[in-house]
Amino acid sequence: MAELILTNLLRRFGPVIAVNGISLTVADGEFVSLLGPSGCGKSTTLAAIAGLDRPDGGRIQLGPHTFYDSDSGLFVPPERRNCGLVFQSYALWPHMTVRQNVAFPLDLRKIKGAEAQRRIEEVLSLVEMVSFTDRYPHQLSGGQQQRVALARTLVYQPELLLLDEPLSNLDAKLRDRARAWLAELRHRLKLTTIYVTHDQIEALALSDRVVVMNGGNIAQIGTPQEIYEDPADPFVADFIGTMNFLKGEAEADAAGGATARMRLPDGGVVQARAHGPLRRGDRLTLALRPEQLRVGSEAAGAGGTSVSAKVVTSAYVGGAYQVAYATAGGTMRLDQPMPPDGEVTTLWVPDDGGILFRETT
Amino acid sequence: MRAVSTGRGREAPIQYGLALLTVVLVAAPLIPILYQAVIDRPLYDSGQQFTLNNFVELAGTGEFITVLINTFLFAIATTVIAQVLGTGAAVLIGRTDMPYARLIGEMFLWPIYVSALILSFGWYAMYGPSGYLTLLLSPVFEESPWDLYTLTGMAVMAGVSLAPVAFLYCTASAGIADPALEEAARVSGAGTMRTLVRITLPLLKPAIFYSAVLNFTVALELLSIPLVFGGPANIEVLSTFLLRNVIGVRQSGQGTVATAAVFLLVIVCVLVWLQARLLGNTRRYETLGGKATRPRPFALNALRIPAFLLACTYLLFAVMLPLGTLILRAFTSFLSPLVPVSEVLTFDNFTGLLAFDVAHRSIVNSFLISIIGGALATLLVASIAIVCHRSEFPFRKALQYIALFPRAVPGVVAGLGFFYALTMIPGIGGIRNTIWIMIIAFTMHLIPAGFGAVAPILLQISPDLDRAARVKGADWLTTSRRIVLPLMKPALVACYTILFIAFFKEYSTAMFLFAPGSEVIGTTQLNLWTGGEMGQAAALAAIQIAVIGTCVGVARTVFGVRLYG
């Protein structure tokens, strides 16, 4: 019913292209995160969907309604889109109490009296804020403000829920709790939701699908598993989770998806799945998750290769040691339960763990 | 469920209407003057021909050259005095351990609240030829050691009246706000004086220079002091030249008068442009107020008490005694050191005012103009500010420019312009006998003052708050009414107070416009003064001081609004 379709969405700020003609379809009831570093265009995309910013080209549709169409010059103002947007700053109106904040959107829709009362009670109990109805925003903690902001958005039953880094203003502990609460809430609401964040853990934990953005383009769209386990390029690989990169060159031609061999500068050879077709002599990058590596020759097993490594730094980070090893192909970082035993050791690289990307010049 | 639409695009007529109103208001006085300057006969005569003769004629008048020289000498001297006083006070009050610095700083600002007209009356009552102190010292000196009826005397009075502006800008500038810069100098071995000369004052340079341009502009167009003291001494400046020639009904001279007004307008425009450039180079908006903790002040040591006495002496003789004497004069029939005050105490001046219907009417008018006009102007300014800063109105930049343009229009020029406009447009002459002409003219003249109070606070309100309302289904008008306006309440209170006070003491615009029925306190004051009714003029001044003092006090204590920093 409320399916969101972006087609070739384009937004420029002077010479800078903030959103470079992206297309995206979000299914009804789907929870999709826009993830990326600051300046990647995720917030601009969100503002365009909400109607706060007018794009320079493309089309935005929600269900049967077209919000924006550059061909016909159609631009629906934000107040006529019936979207719900929770701001990063919450944007609670400081001159209104919690109840007045929540009642305002109902008032605009001429919903008054008992029906308004019922809805306000319902939404405030949903966010567990019933006992704070007569407080002013400045009398609430950050987490409480965030809940009120969400209640104010849910009360008028928007067709599309837009969340702009709603957890980023909370401290670390509160953020974990709020994330768990949000994850539970989303299963109850089943609203089509766009969630903008630069925090990969939030994106992976909450989303049906994640859209990774980079420099105004979509780098990859996929489920959290796909994004994590099969990144489309080194940028995505690096951005999601912790990733180690080894550099070398292709020993032989290989088809995309096939196992290929990469020669390290010191002559050592490692194996991994090629992301795309490779030619002999191509400069390659091997992306490896730290948890796939094993330290020391005794830990090595079949189906992998050992490369020699030297300890560069070691730091105790509480419960584990974060150690950086220099290898011929580059520095590898990983967490291990025990401090490194000696300066020189080997790292075991499994054949089926990493992904080989061809370096683009 | 779709958002309930409350009419599509209803903001457009409002925004365009507001922009049109602003354009008409600002252009109304300017176009007649510009037009009059290039035609060969008065605006209201038929058969007008375009000509540049007015410029030739004006330039050829020796009288005008003298007027120009006087104007610039007066403005330069005033600016120098104001900057020296203001900067000195800023350093002493803001950066040293002088006792009671805060209190002295508050009192240093007093002249900014009352008009220069009132301050000059006070100086007259104290230092005039028959002033209290002049008479007191007459046994000692054969001839009075001072003479207010000179360019220097006038410049001293104007300088005292404008010193608070220099003081405010210097106090707010980084030179005083950031103690780390001075502390760094002291740590590297600079003593108190060296730090002051090498670090503090150079850091204040932008603030001093900017406020100097500001004060120079005000001095150029100042009417009150030249009118009260220059007139009898035959020292004419541009503003009094304009007033004499327009009111003096020299029919043939209207062209040259308008040309002189255009001349003043152009100079002030250039200066205002220069101000904008300077401000652009330093900071967009000065944040008055500064940090909560005062930086570690310079130790004056042995100079602590002398500095305190110096500051007290200045305040006493420049501000408090003149104003005190003026108020005392309002309650006496006669004031002289030779007669004990107790024998001359009386309320006659006030009862006389009430009996004199013009004075009575002007008091009522001033109140009505300030209460109603101030409210209307606040509404207008707030609407303009919201459209300029919180709408997608395509011409919002241009609107802001036009709304702020009256900064470059001196009060006398605005008054003259509205005067011409009334003669030009048939059938509206009757408005001259109502308070509405004053409300319109004052509003035009003071839009920038109100805008300055509203815009910075509006910019501090997070745009997310109105975006949130838009997304939740409120259109621009509802958002402005329900979210932005309530959040602007402190700004509106400040704006209304500033405009109320400004309307209440405005006279330069009114001097060209007032007619039976539209007199205001300022115009009546000047008329009483020139008619020799010192006591009643002082009584009116006392009323003005009381009303303004109450406003400032109420705004500060009840609403917590601090006017002027």
Per-residue pLDDT at B4 exceeds 50: no
Contact call for B467 and A93, based on CB within 8 A: no
Helices (H) and strands (E) in chain B, counts: 30, 0
Comparing C-alpha atoms, which of A122, A188, A205, A197 is closest to residue A162?
A197
When pLDDT is cut at 50, 70 and 90, the band that residue A45 belongs to is very high
Per-residue pLDDT at A205 exceeds 50: yes
Contact call for A79 and B472, based on CB within 8 A: yes
Contacts of B467 in chain A (CB under 8 A): 50, 52, 78, 85, 87, 91
Alpha-carbon gap, residue B345 to B451, rounded angstroms: 44
Contact call for A82 and B2, based on CB within 8 A: yes
Contact call for B471 and A51, based on CB within 8 A: yes
What element of type H or E holds B81?
helix B62-95
Q: Do the Cβ atoms of A237 and A287 come closer than 8 Å?
A: yes
> Which of A230-239, A265-274, B193-202, B524-533 shows the lowest per-residue confidence on average (mean pLDDT)?
B193-202
Cβ-in-10-Å burial (0-12, 13-18, 19+) of B518 comes to: buried
When pLDDT is cut at 50, 70 and 90, the band that residue B293 belongs to is very low
The amino acid that residue B211 corresponds to is S
Residue of B nearest to A91 (CA): B465
Measure the N-to-C terminal CA separation of chain B; round to a whole number of Å.
49
Contact call for B487 and A94, based on CB within 8 A: yes
- pTM, rounded to two decimals: 0.80
Give the mean pLDDT of B533-540: 90
How close, in Å, is residue B469 to chain A by CA atoms? 8
Q: How many beta carbons lie within 10 A of that of residue B492, not counting itself?
A: 23
Per-residue pLDDT at B301 exceeds 90: no
Per-residue pLDDT at A124 exceeds 60: yes
Residue of A nearest to B9 (CA): A77
Q: Do the Cβ atoms of A58 and A70 come closer than 8 Å?
A: yes
Contact call for B472 and A93, based on CB within 8 A: no
Give the mean pLDDT of B16-27: 94
Chain B interface, best mutation among A74, A79, A169, by max B CB count within 10 A: A79
The ipTM estimated for the assembled molecules is 0.75
Per-residue pLDDT at B294 exceeds 80: no
Q: Which of A95, A157, A162 sits opposite B487 (nearest CB)?
A: A95
Give residue B296's pLDDT: 62
Q: Do the Cβ atoms of A270 and A313 come closer than 8 Å?
A: no
Question: In 3-state terms, what secondary structure has residue B508?
Answer: coil
Q: Do the Cβ atoms of A89 and A43 come closer than 8 Å?
A: no
If you ran DSSP here, which 8-state letter would residue B198 be given? I
Contact call for A85 and B469, based on CB within 8 A: no
Residue of B nearest to A152 (CA): B472
Above pLDDT 70, what percent of chain B? 89
What does pLDDT average to over chain A?
89
Residue scoring higher pLDDT (B286 or A313):
A313
- Token pair of B447 as six digits: 């839009």
Residue of B nearest to A155 (CA): B472
pLDDT digits (tens, 9 = 90+) for A140-169: 998 899 999 999 999 998 999 999 988 887
How close, in Å, is residue B477 to chain A by CA atoms? 11
Give residue A301's pLDDT: 74
The amino acid that residue A82 corresponds to is N
pLDDT digits (tens, 9 = 90+) for B259-278: 888 888 898 888 888 877 77
How close, in Å, is residue B182 to chain A by CA atoms? 36
Contacts of A157 in chain B (CB under 8 A): 1
Buried b (16+ CB within 10 A) or exposed e, B312-337: eebbeebbebbbebbbbbbbbeebee
Per-residue pLDDT at B5 exceeds 50: no
Q: Which of A50, A77, A152 sits opposite B475 (nearest CB)?
A: A77
Cβ-in-10-Å burial (0-12, 13-18, 19+) of B386 comes to: buried
pLDDT digits (tens, 9 = 90+) for A71-96: 999 999 888 899 999 988 888 898 88
How close, in Å, is residue B272 to chain A by CA atoms? 31
Give residue B72's pLDDT: 92
Residue scoring higher pLDDT (B19 or A173):
B19
Per-residue pLDDT at B253 exceeds 80: no
Residue scoring higher pLDDT (A209 or B533):
A209
Above pLDDT 90, what percent of chain B? 25
Contacts of A110 in chain B (CB under 8 A): 4
Give residue B295's pLDDT: 56
> Which of A99-108, B247-256, B401-410 shows the lowest per-residue confidence on average (mean pLDDT)?
B247-256
Contacts of A109 in chain B (CB under 8 A): 1, 3-4, 473
Quote the strand ranges of B367-477, DSSP E: none
Chain A interface, best mutation among B472, B478, B482, by max A CB count within 10 A: B472
Contacts of A156 in chain B (CB under 8 A): 1, 3, 472-473
When pLDDT is cut at 50, 70 and 90, the band that residue B563 belongs to is low
Residue of A nearest to B468 (CA): A91
Residue of B nearest to A159 (CA): B1
Q: How many beta carbons lie within 10 A of that of residue B113, not counting itself?
A: 17
What does pLDDT average to over chain B?
83
Give residue B186's pLDDT: 64
Give the mean pLDDT of A294-311: 82
Contact call for A93 and B469, based on CB within 8 A: yes
pLDDT digits (tens, 9 = 90+) for B92-136: 888 788 888 888 888 898 888 888 889 999 998 888 888 888 888
The amino acid that residue B479 corresponds to is T
Contact call for A87 and B468, based on CB within 8 A: yes
The amino acid that residue B512 corresponds to is F
Q: What are phi and psi of A9, to 5 degrees?
A: -65, 125
Question: In 3-state terms, what secondary structure has residue B25?
Answer: helix
Question: In 3-state terms, what secondary structure has residue B408?
Answer: helix
Give the mean pLDDT of B218-233: 87
Give residue B254's pLDDT: 76
Q: Which residues are B405's β-sheet partners? A: none
Contacts of B479 in chain A (CB under 8 A): 79
Per-residue pLDDT at B288 exceeds 80: no
Residue scoring higher pLDDT (B553 or B4):
B553
Residues 6+ apart with CB under 8 A from A354: A246, A270, A272, A273, A286, A287, A288, A289, A292
pLDDT digits (tens, 9 = 90+) for B427-460: 777 788 888 999 999 999 999 888 888 888 888 8
pLDDT digits (tens, 9 = 90+) for B321-331: 999 999 998 99
Give residue B289's pLDDT: 37
Residues of A with CB under 8 A from a CB of B: 50-52, 77-85, 87-89, 91, 93-95, 104-105, 108-110, 152-153, 156-157, 162
CA B494 distance to own-chain centroid: 16
Crossing angle of the two packed helices B116-127 and B321-330, in degrees rounded to 10: 80
Give residue B564's pLDDT: 53
Q: Which residues are B462's β-sheet partners? A: none
Contacts of A77 in chain B (CB under 8 A): 470, 475
Give residue B7's pLDDT: 42
Q: Which of B465, B478, B486 sits opposite A91 (nearest CB)?
A: B465
pLDDT digits (tens, 9 = 90+) for B129-170: 888 888 888 878 777 778 888 888 999 999 999 999 888 888
Contact call for B469 and A51, based on CB within 8 A: no
Pairing mode, strands A57-62 and A4-13: antiparallel
Per-residue pLDDT at B189 exceeds 70: no
Contacts of B10 in chain A (CB under 8 A): none
Question: In 3-state terms, what secondary structure has residue A244?
Answer: strand
